[in-house]
Structure 1
């Protein structure tokens, strides 16, 4: 078997979710190729070649891959899918946008968000917001799969894959990137953070969110997250959202402040190693998954905890 992993990258480095996807590919077994599609992306290709387990990096370098649009990249993948038994991408916004198009063009079923590999044709994925796990067996000639990054250990360094050029496909001209608005922060990126401090509707407003959680996150070196209710209320931007419709995270420590624990939020963070919940409602569902629960007024408890930290 030969597996193709679609790299998510910034033209210079490989995104961490791709390392987890390569980790999943090693569980399937076989040779692993990585596709790097971009513009002036030689550095990203070299970084991919150094990942343990990667046999070959195929680089499609063209100006119309600069924004890595799903339409152009999907056409490229389909054009070169022959000979691959599996096509994998991370279950990030990038992968969720790209691989359904690939699956449709190949006329196969996509297997989404896998968290474990049973064999080359059998995979485990969560359903019902993570409350059940489904075992899925595919008989398709090419298995098109998105990988939940929290389900697999990231591949390490130390590889020595070869890098080869891949002919670019045509620019389909179906979409055009108008612009990107990036949130700049000195804190760790939410998806990669080892510690996350997350706030919910119980904080009341955005001013309280930042007044209470910013100092705590700064002392812990943590990323900031939020429930969907907090995002919908305008406390913070939507890239802070943790949950089924936000980011799936599994940090070493997850501190949930004023979050009731709706099933959609729990689906995005319940695999965290240690969960601490602060809520004044003793019946809040968050306490069912928390390792440590503090029933208290967050407006008193959070400043007190922050003050105790060195």
Structure 2
């Protein structure tokens, strides 16, 4: 009986040691993740500081760009009308209505801080993705490291393309539509600077995030949550949603403008199906090879 008690005590001490070791390992991982996030935060702070230094250019040229009739997108639309008169004069935008005002005492000061932080986040996201990759990399097998070696470049490129598409296409078209939209001539469109900045940030950063769809599908497919069969079956619903989004942001009701906005979203969805199918094919090949080896 005494020997049994002694053995039970030894087993309890061993189990306690294993639990303690597991807990320490968990907290070690948290500490490593904290260091990665702190480095990413430092890079965002540096970019935010640079945004303060070059604030005149960032605000007057970049942020207020879509509000000016000489913005690149509007000039290209007018040139298209010269080559294709059938587009109609409404397609050429030469005036942006709506007045932007500040209604708060600290409004312009807050504007500068928010816009600089927003700029720092946009430029810092690629490095944030790199730090996340460094954190996850040690837990991957060699074949997984090879298959995901271009993750940071691919995800950052999609985000940058989405930012550019949102800024040069969706943002100016939406601003032109919203500033000119009116339910009555008695109502004058006057917008606060916070509302304008929020719209620009949402449309631009939001589009950048939407363009990360293939990356999200890749991760979900790796976990077996998303399948190409489901995405192909849902294609008709996805097309309807994409066309609705394109119809909302286009300035005119013509089909050509709507398709210009919708086309990249169609490409993203099809690319996501291709990525999911590739992962499923690779998984089935590995399972088939393993089963054949066992047999």
Larger Cα Rg: Structure 1 or Structure 2? 2
* TM exceeding 0.5: no
The structure, 1 or 2, with the larger RCO (C-alpha pairs under 8 Å, 6+ apart) is 2
TM-score normalised by the chain length of structure 2: 0.23
Structure having the larger proportion of residues in strand: 1
TM-score normalised by the chain length of structure 1: 0.22
Structure having the larger proportion of residues in helix: 2
